Amino acid sequence: MNWRKIFLILGIIFILTGLFLPRDWYDAVPKSEADLTWIRQLHDSTSSTQKPPPPPIKGVTLLQISFVIEGLAFLWFGLKRRTYTRLSADQQALIKIEENKIDFGLASFWLITAVTVLAFVLRLFRLDSELWLDEITTIFFYSPMSTLHVLTGFVSANNHLLNTLLMKLAIAFFGEQEWAVRLPAAIFGAATIPIFYWVSRLMLSQRSSLCAALLLAVSYHHIFFSQNVRGYSMQLFFTTLACGLFVKGLQEDRPRIWILYVAAMFFNMASLLNSSFVFAAHILIGAAALVKIKRRGDSPFPLLYRLIAVVGVTAILVLQLYATLIPQAYVYAQTTWSDPASGYSPLSMEFVAEMIRGISAGFGTSLILLAFPFAATVAAVGFVVLFKRHWTLTASLVLPIILTVAYLILNRLNVAPRFLLIASPIAILVIIQGIDSVAQFFANKVSRTPNALSATLATAVVLLGCVVSLASLRRYYSVPKQPYRTSLAFIEAQRKPGEIILAVHHMENGYRFYAKEFNLKEDEDFFAVRSVKMLDSILSAHDGRGAYLVTTLPRGLRLSHPDLGARIAQDWEVVRTFPATVATSKRFV
């Protein structure tokens, strides 16, 4: 097969496609909630469905540019005679790691298999619990949308491409059932366990790596996001895989590894757009590796050319994927994530309090506060040891978090705690290594066989942490993420004929989704309320009839519609609060 001719033909095809691609179709692509005709529009001045300002460049223009760039790349490959030559030892990064002498052999395979099965069971259990706001919004927006529009239109940040496509596939096979739409996230969540074990083995012993995998398998927070119709579990899977492949590529420079890295990074970006910070971190680490090669007196150019090729191919593929979405995503980020109701300022005490609340869900607030000094010290020790042992892998797991927070602070944007989920792998690794180091220190002081004692102590501490995390899952499984169905069932058990339900602010989509289970009709049995004007109008039209008013996410209501929140607090009395893991719901009369 003459690859040069194939590349030349592809180059011409891509360039002609970029130059003569029709542009009219792009105008029909949904670019905001207001473009979704199947979403009921609320025509009041406070509606969040107003059209955003136009982006600085059209997405179809970026798509044309990406085709031309890809075509030029194919032409270059077709005109140049190049074969892959593995870099010699003096041209590589020469990343050395400590050898782990203890090998469990086949037992390690069965142990990690058992841990993975446990992870899968924990993520399948109660997968059919009721959905929460972001999950329902994802279904409402993208289930009726064509695949072409999913791939080319940015309606909101809920469009996590890979998850959206897999969700649509699950709905096509199994219908709009809770367990079905969450199944892709659950599968990727469980699949992360053996990938994390493999990455851990690059810097930890088999025993420590198994402990790390077990801790992630029973992690409250990882299970939470693995049972969520969002792309976070997929992002964590591909981020962990891409980081491991990147450092292996620097170590061994095998074409198979670089090809797998490009694929992993591409799907990582398809999982979540902010995975671009992972990609940026790898570029910075590659630059640091080149500096180290230069400082030791060798030529950095062979590795530089290799990294340019790998980064270039990845960037072109990602640009091709997101070309039509990037301009609208930029506008969305600047408008939505600057809204205080969308998240928290990274430098605020409110953000710190929310992080403590989120972390304590898996371990308990009192335990977190009591253990924080010890945990912080252990983590610091573990980080120093891991950075000295394998600086590239440690940096590849830490830098994305630093870059994410730095970007948000510099652009004065808000942050949601879920943005920092990718910190889970490095957090677990530094804790495991810190426990190992502290246990080894004490064992050396008191035992003639310190290695055996330190391994026993470290494993016992990790198992204790796993027990605490498992104990926290009891409440997680017993209450929903957001009690839409639960609150509706309670109201329907008491509601008399003619009485109405008022779904305030973020309650509306949840009640629209679950209303069919109770044979409720919108604008007849329940009404969406987003302003004081709407509230007064509905109550006036149903004067003398009883009403049940339900709210959720009180912070969002207070910041988005302060006058409505104040009116409810003044005129209505709370009679029931429904517990949940994300946001409680309150019923007023």
pLDDT on residue 1: 55
Q: Which of 187-191, 349-353, 378-382 has the highest mean pLDDT?
A: 187-191
Compute the average pLDDT of residues 44-58: 61
b/e map 374-392, b = 16+ CB within 10 Å: ebeebbebbbebbbebbbb
Query: Which pTM does this prediction carry?
Result: 0.93
* Cα(158)–Cα(133) distance, integer angstroms: 11
Predicted confidence band at 46 (pLDDT cuts at 50, 70, 90)?
very low
Q: Which range among 320-324, 410-414, 504-508, 531-535 shows the weakest confidence by mean pLDDT?
A: 410-414
pLDDT on residue 411: 82
**The pLDDT of residue 358 is above 80:** no
**The pLDDT of residue 488 is above 90:** yes
**The pLDDT of residue 51 is above 80:** no
pLDDT on residue 361: 72
Order of strands, sheet of 574-578, starting from the edge strand that comes earlier in the sequence: 526-529, 500-504, 547-552, 585-588, 574-578
**Could you read off the pLDDT of 66-95 as tens digits, one per residue?**
999 999 988 988 888 767 778 777 667 666
**Could you read off the pLDDT of 14-40 as tens digits, one per residue?**
999 999 999 988 888 887 777 776 665
Predicted confidence band at 100 (pLDDT cuts at 50, 70, 90)?
low
Domain borders along the chain are 3-79, 89-478, 484-588
Q: How many percent of the chain have pLDDT more than 70?
A: 90
Compute the average pLDDT of residues 361-373: 65
CB-side exposure of 80: number of CA atoms within 13 Å? 9
The encoded tokens of residue 437 equal: 């180091």
Query: CB within 8 A of 185, min separation 6: which ones?
Result: 163, 225, 226, 227, 228, 229, 230, 231, 232, 233, 234
pLDDT on residue 343: 76
**The pLDDT of residue 585 is above 70:** no
**The pLDDT of residue 96 is above 70:** no
**The pLDDT of residue 99 is above 50:** no
Residue predicted with more confidence, 228 or 47: 228
**The pLDDT of residue 97 is above 60:** no
Compute the average pLDDT of residues 45-66: 73
Give the type of residue at 587: R
Residue predicted with more confidence, 584 or 66: 66
* Cα(187)–Cα(169) distance, integer angstroms: 14
Q: Which helix (H) or strand (E) holds 574?
A: strand 574-578
pLDDT on residue 355: 77
**Could you read off the pLDDT of 321-346 as tens digits, one per residue?**
999 988 888 777 777 666 676 778 87
**The pLDDT of residue 43 is above 70:** no
Packing angle between helix 206-217 and helix 450-478, nearest 10 degrees? 10
**Could you read off the pLDDT of 284-313 as tens digits, one per residue?**
999 999 998 888 888 899 999 999 999 999
- Which residue is associated with the tokens 């990938």? 195
Residue of 571, 583, 378, 559 lying closest to 465 (CA atoms): 378
Residue of 21, 5, 31 lying closest to 66 (CA atoms): 21
Compute the average pLDDT of residues 38-46: 50
Beta strands in 56-172 (DSSP E): none
